[in-house]
A and B are shown apart, each in its own frame.
Chain A
Amino acid sequence: MHTKSLLPLLMIIVLLCILPAACTAVAAPVGEASEPARLILATTTSTQDSGLLEYLLPDFEKAYNAKIEVIAVGSGQALQTGKDGNADVLLVHSPAAEKTFMEEGHGVRREDVMYNDFVIAGPESDPAKINGLTSAVEAFKAIASAQALFVSRGDDSGTHVKEKSIWKAAGIEPSGGWYFQAGDSMGAVLAMSDEKSAYTLSDRATYLALAKKGLALKVMVEGDPVLFNPYGVIAVNPAKSAKINNGLANRFIDWIISVPVQEKIAHFGNEKFGQSLFVPDSGPWKAANP
């Protein structure tokens, strides 16, 4: 048959690829009556990557018949998603940017949630001799003067912003062959630093997760209050879009700052790493644990 050639062949190949699509594509976006309410949470990658959200959120989803859609991106992008009205609630760690966000009216409510901390990690050989220093600024000065290799996130993430603020406090404009700007995720930057035997600034959660998988870098400096990394939760201004679910966002905020959930946050990581990754810090928690 002459007419056989084109159409059936195309049909076969297309069908092979999209068999599942054909069945479900139409049904997928349509909601059912009993479908849970949708809450879009834009957050930084650290909360997702550490596993904290998977550990916390199912309780909320069950209690409030909600489905939380987690959009885990860089801090800057998470705030921008809120500004665009594309998220209901934000969980981020950029205090200065959060302040501006609130002042400009993009958010209607902000609460402290918790903090984790940054550590300066480096190779065991410690060429800049910073091990045990209590000041992050002093440690950065030592790294710069020793011209020891340092890998920066270089991506304007919260971690990168923190790193730049420490350089600034040290009065150093880092540049030169010893200073790499990776433009990549924390995990990738830690792996790169490990390969290069370089120093880097990392959040504790990602560091611990990778250390458990055989990362050779050691914690050199920790505990300096400069290295604390506070997380805030923000309800996006519902005036931005009729689709923003402000009611559920408020319930989420009430829930995450409540004492039982804060307690749960305090225990996160104990089992896996032998230490907590986040320190609870909400108003109700502080009131209950003065």
Chain B
Amino acid sequence: MAPVFRLESAKKSYAGRTVVDIDRLEIDPGEFLAIVGPSGAGKSTLLRLLNFLEYPDSGKIYYAGQASSPALPLELRRQVTTVFQRPVLLRDNVENNVAYGLRLRGLRDCHAEVRAVLGRLGLGKLHRAQARSLSSGEAQRVALARAIVLQPAVLLLDEPSANLDPYNIGLIEDMLREIHQAGRTTVLLVTHNIFQAKRLAQRTALMLEGRIIEISPTSEFFENPRDRRTRAFVNGEMIY
């Protein structure tokens, strides 16, 4: 099967500092890939590149066979969406926040879809609440809702449950499992929580200083890491 994403010598730097430097990476359709690594490893930049919010300085990122560039058609861009670590919601109620992406796609009457997703995330009673009045857990669930209501081909998640309580983490992880098992969505989860990667992902990768150090099936990654840096990270011995 052709990969969803293929990265070839993709580099991105800010002010002369290389932040992402990936020689080769392929992401398969329908897979659940976790990327772990310390802060500053370039994980968030990688997600912005994969969501076409930025473009590589050199090398190529192919999505569905097309190179990422400002000229990439909107239809293709709209197949990929991100849930950010710190969600910024519109100054509006929950329902309108979740409907935003659908309305961009020309869907005027999306009441039913929005309500269904809100219900699945335990937000059914909050649909009229103002976004500003939500707790951080609720806000993050709204951010997840506004992403999955789009039924994206690729769902990117940047530390979606950092700083959340176990109840909210549980809700979000259940939802991610559910989406993935439905089979149509490729999920890429960036997390510094190795246990979350272990619980959810089929493959896990370690990212360090912009590079992918090791990528392997999750069980192998944790039980039998090939690289000594992976070993150190998994065992919590890495100093960073």
Contact = CB atoms under 8 A, between A and B. Distances in A.
Interface of A: 1-2, 5
Given A1-B96, A2-B99, A2-B100, 5 more contacts: A2-B90, A2-B92, A2-B96, A2-B103, A5-B92
Interface of B: 90, 92, 96, 99-100, 103
A5 B93 CA distance: 12
A17 B96 CA distance: 31
A156 to B, nearest CB: 56
Contacts of B92: 2, 5
Contacts of A5: 92
Contacts of A2: 90, 92, 96, 99-100, 103
A5 B100 CA distance: 14
A1 B90 CA distance: 13
A1 B100 CA distance: 10
Give the dominant DSSP class at B's interface.
helix
A2 B92 CA distance: 7
Contacts of A1: 96
Nearest to A2: B96
8 contacts: A1-B96, A2-B90, A2-B92, A2-B96, A2-B99, A2-B100, A2-B103, A5-B92
A2 B111 CA distance: 13
Contacts of B90: 2
Contacts, number: 8
Nearest to B103: A2
Contacts of B99: 2
A5 B103 CA distance: 15
A142 B203 CA distance: 105
A2 B90 CA distance: 9
Nearest to A1: B96
B140 to A, nearest CB: 21
A278 to B, nearest CB: 66
A10 to B, nearest CB: 16
A7 to B, nearest CB: 15
A8 to B, nearest CB: 15
A46 to B, nearest CB: 58
A46 B92 CA distance: 60
Contacts of B96: 1-2
CB-CB nearest 7 A-B residue pairs:
A2-B96, A2-B92, A2-B103, A2-B100, A2-B99, A1-B96, A2-B90
B15 to A, nearest CB: 36
A74 B100 CA distance: 61
Nearest to B93: A2
A92 to B, nearest CB: 60
B124 to A, nearest CB: 20
A56 to B, nearest CB: 62
Contacts of B100: 2
Nearest to B97: A2
A137 to B, nearest CB: 74
Nearest to B91: A5
A2 B103 CA distance: 9
A258 to B, nearest CB: 71
A35 B90 CA distance: 56
A1 B128 CA distance: 11
A279 to B, nearest CB: 71
B89 to A, nearest CB: 12
A2 B100 CA distance: 8
A189 to B, nearest CB: 55
A5 B96 CA distance: 12
A1 B99 CA distance: 10
A2 B99 CA distance: 9
B191 to A, nearest CB: 32
B146 to A, nearest CB: 12
A5 B91 CA distance: 10
A92 B96 CA distance: 68
A5 B99 CA distance: 15
A21 B201 CA distance: 65
B71 to A, nearest CB: 29
A21 B36 CA distance: 63
A231 B152 CA distance: 85
B136 to A, nearest CB: 23
A5 B92 CA distance: 9
A223 B68 CA distance: 93
B238 to A, nearest CB: 45
Contacts of B103: 2
Nearest to A3: B103
B166 to A, nearest CB: 33
A1 B111 CA distance: 11
B99 to A, nearest CB: 7
B213 to A, nearest CB: 44
Nearest to B96: A2
